[in-house]
Amino acid sequence: MKFRIYVFIGFLFGILPTFSQQLKLQSPNKKNRVELFSMNAGNRGEWYLKVSYNTDKNTSEILPKVHLGLSRNDQDFSKELLFLKASKSKMIKEHYELPFGKKAVRDNEANEVVVSFENPSKAKLNLIIRAYNDGITFRYEFPEKKGTYSLKDEFTAYEIPNKSMRWLEKWNPANEGLYAASSEDKLLQQEWCYPALFNSVDKSCWYLLHEADLDRNYCGTKLSNMQDVNTYKLTFPDPRDGRGTGESKPNISLPWQSPWRVITIGSLADIVESTLVEDVSTPTNFKNSDWVKPGKVSWNYWSSNHGTKDYKIVCDFTDLAVKMDWPYTLLDWEWDGMTNGGNLEDALKYIHSKGIKPLMWYNSGGDHTWVSSTPKNRMLTHENRVEEFTKLKKLGVAGVKIDFFESEKQNMIQYYLDILEDAAQFEMMVYFHGCIVPRGWSRTYPNLMTYEAVRGAEWYNNGSEFSVTAPEHNTILPFTRNVVGAMDYTPVTFTNSQFPHHTSYGHELALSVIFESPLQHLADRPEGYYELPDEAKTFLKEVPTVWDNTKLIDGYPGQEVTMARQKGDTWYIGGISASERQEKTKKIKLNFLKEGMSYRAVIITDGKHDKDFNSQVMVVDKTSAIEVKLLRRGGFVVSLNPIRN
């Protein structure tokens, strides 16, 4: 598919007032507003943004202060900034397409202003601000044409009103923690992962903090409220990350722009359906992406941690992919030590003979990781990658999974992007594990299929804790981690691994719709799928991994979520509950269906107990509603196929 990007720029007059102490910018739909203020009475000093959300009834001040500024090794750009000018408001209007994700076609609009500052030594700093219909973004710019510096600190910090509810994940380099809800009486002070979700004090809106368009010229940041419990400051990586390799402070060359600081704003539906992180990211320069082929993957690691060392297990999972009409199977770690009837070459020959495409795992290698599992170091340098990708292309391998990055320092960001660029030269799909949370790279590199960066089903192997926490965790992820990009949770497991499920079979089946990932690794052992009733088995054969449209029907983080996703004329609905005590009966309105069209609805809900299904078929249309029953920690799915006369 060729990418079509149209940018229409027009000037809007009357949006900016004459500058005295503040500047205002509104989104095209006038719901989101950002204002620029000085801490001092005049036009010199420290500056901050105020972000507000407008409803039909009132205006909610959701972020009273977003502190601004940078510090370079040569001088400061925060305390004595002189306001020089603000540009006229410019409209940004974009249309683009991606071969995967929550929406195939993206349209976004924003109003943009560039504010120019000067520090006491006459060095320039620009602040680029955009007001989108689904959020506010801003970035810093050093416009001068030459110079190389180290950034000592970034002072961007979000002041959160004390009574705001928040959902945050404690910082860890693999981004594999649990989100915890907290409010004014239970606030912890520590470092936090992206993205971070907040509910405004008056409950009128929600907002999600993240960053996007991170490139080679910066490091990944995180949030810290160590200095003030209600102020979340952007923080550079810990020097100890990646076993101490790489610099924690980024080096930059002018001219330079920071990543976008992204505040997605609106209802919970606006948050879930937003593509703002990709909207502000750099468009691809790929001429086409016809070779990018999303799909479902059989995966043997969850049920057998060392399964790829066993040729017969590899063959069993290949046969699973054949029987379930899934295009891929993954050879996870240790494929270079395969025995029990065959080696790698034998396995690849078998996989290809069945019409399945192989994906292969690699250790990212190098001194930044403690993990010694092989194959290691084959992706570490450009020369390594060219040699390995050349071999893989000849072997008919479609993509690579690369694991254990353990750092978000600038050198590691550069490593991620080097991998993606080299892989693209060989038309090789890539996905990352033990890695960074998405930063919009899939728009720039459409061969980047998915990321882990989540506490997923693998954690059933790591201890008993996930059995208890998974039901609630699963209902938080659609409002947090999965909003900002593909998420390789490796869902839909019915049998037990080392520790048991507390979720129902209906809950597990629904994760195939609830969680979005272009390469969706369905992680159960073969018998876990073979023993399903025909309706559930058919659903897992047919459910897509890429979508034309996504809608949140209802939900609340930590309690429940129901989502509808569209592919062509067919809709799929998935719903899950975290309730430990109550069964639920829900009525799902189908008013998003096409006018005048009837649909064959296949409804699969929890049955009499958590390992049982109940299925029914009915004809519905736009005026219909479907009633479904969920057990405790339960779930359901619906497929809606148009009936053509």
Query: Which pairing describes strands 256-257 and 260-266: parallel, antiparallel, or unpaired?
Result: unpaired
CA dihedral (352, 354, 355, 359) in degrees, to 10, reads -50
- pLDDT score at 18: 36
Instruction: Say whether both 440 and 570 belong to one domain.
Output: no
Average pLDDT value for residue range 488-516 = 97
- pLDDT tens readout for residues 292-340: 999 999 999 999 999 999 999 999 999 999 999 999 999 999 999 999 9
CA dihedral (477, 479, 481, 485) in degrees, to 10, reads 120
Q: Is residue 1 part of a domain?
A: no
Structure tokens at 458: 């693998």
**Of 407, 427, 453, which marks where a domain is finished?**
453
Report the candidate in 244, 257, 78 with the shortest Cα–Cα distance to residue 152. 78
- pLDDT score at 210: 98
Instruction: Say whether both 173 and 275 belong to one domain.
Output: yes
- pLDDT score at 170: 98
Instruction: Say whether both 112 and 251 belong to one domain.
Output: yes
pLDDT(8) > 50: no
* pLDDT range class, residue 16, cuts 50, 70, 90: very low
Q: Is residue 299 part of a domain?
A: yes
Instruction: Say whether both 101 and 67 belong to one domain.
Output: yes
**Of 405, 435, 453, which marks where a domain is finished?**
453
Query: Which pairing describes strands 70-72 and 165-169: parallel, antiparallel, or unpaired?
Result: unpaired
- pLDDT score at 412: 98
- pLDDT score at 233: 98
- pLDDT score at 216: 97
Cis? peptide before 294, omega within 30° of 0: no
* pLDDT range class, residue 49, cuts 50, 70, 90: very high
* pLDDT range class, residue 120, cuts 50, 70, 90: very high
Average pLDDT value for residue range 364-371 = 95
pLDDT(463) > 90: yes
- pLDDT score at 9: 36
Instruction: Say whether both 496 and 568 belong to one domain.
Output: yes
CB-based contact 341:312 (threshold 8 Å): yes
- pLDDT score at 17: 38
**Of 438, 453, 468, which marks where a domain is finished?**
453
CB-based contact 438:213 (threshold 8 Å): no
- pLDDT tens readout for residues 538-582: 999 999 999 999 999 999 999 999 999 999 999 999 999 999 999
Q: Is residue 616 part of a domain?
A: yes
Instruction: Say whether both 370 and 463 belong to one domain.
Output: no
Instruction: Say whether both 250 and 290 belong to one domain.
Output: no
Q: Is residue 471 part of a domain?
A: yes
CA distance linking residue 253 with residue 148, whole number of Å: 4
Q: Is residue 429 part of a domain?
A: yes
CB-based contact 512:494 (threshold 8 Å): no
The range of the structural domain enclosing residue 98 comes to 6-279
* pLDDT range class, residue 20, cuts 50, 70, 90: very low
- pLDDT tens readout for residues 606-615: 999 999 999 9
- CATH number of the domain to which 373 belongs: 3.20.20.70
Instruction: Say whether both 178 and 314 belong to one domain.
Output: no
CA distance linking residue 373 with residue 301, whole number of Å: 14
pLDDT(397) > 80: yes
- pLDDT tens readout for residues 131-186: 999 999 999 999 999 999 999 999 999 999 999 999 999 999 999 999 999 987 78
CA distance linking residue 627 with residue 638, whole number of Å: 11
- pLDDT score at 2: 39
Q: Is residue 549 part of a domain?
A: yes
- Angle, CA 305 vertex, CA 304 and CA 310 arms, to 5°: 65
Q: Which helix (H) or strand (E) holds 626?
A: strand 625-630
Average pLDDT value for residue range 268-295 = 97
Token pair 């909207």 is at which residue?
Answer: 279
* pLDDT range class, residue 4, cuts 50, 70, 90: very low
CB-based contact 484:137 (threshold 8 Å): no
Instruction: Say whether both 344 and 460 belong to one domain.
Output: no
CA distance linking residue 582 with residue 328, whole number of Å: 39
- pLDDT tens readout for residues 241-260: 999 999 999 999 999 999 99
Tell me the whole-structure pTM to 2 decimals: 0.95
Instruction: Say whether both 217 and 347 belong to one domain.
Output: no
pLDDT(588) > 80: yes
pLDDT(6) > 80: no
Other residues' Cβ atoms within 10 Å of the Cβ of residue 382: 12
For the chain, the average pLDDT equals 95
DSSP track, 184-207? TTS---SEEPSPEEEE-TTSS-EE
Instruction: Say whether both 138 and 222 belong to one domain.
Output: yes
Q: Which DSSP symbol is given to 478?
A: G
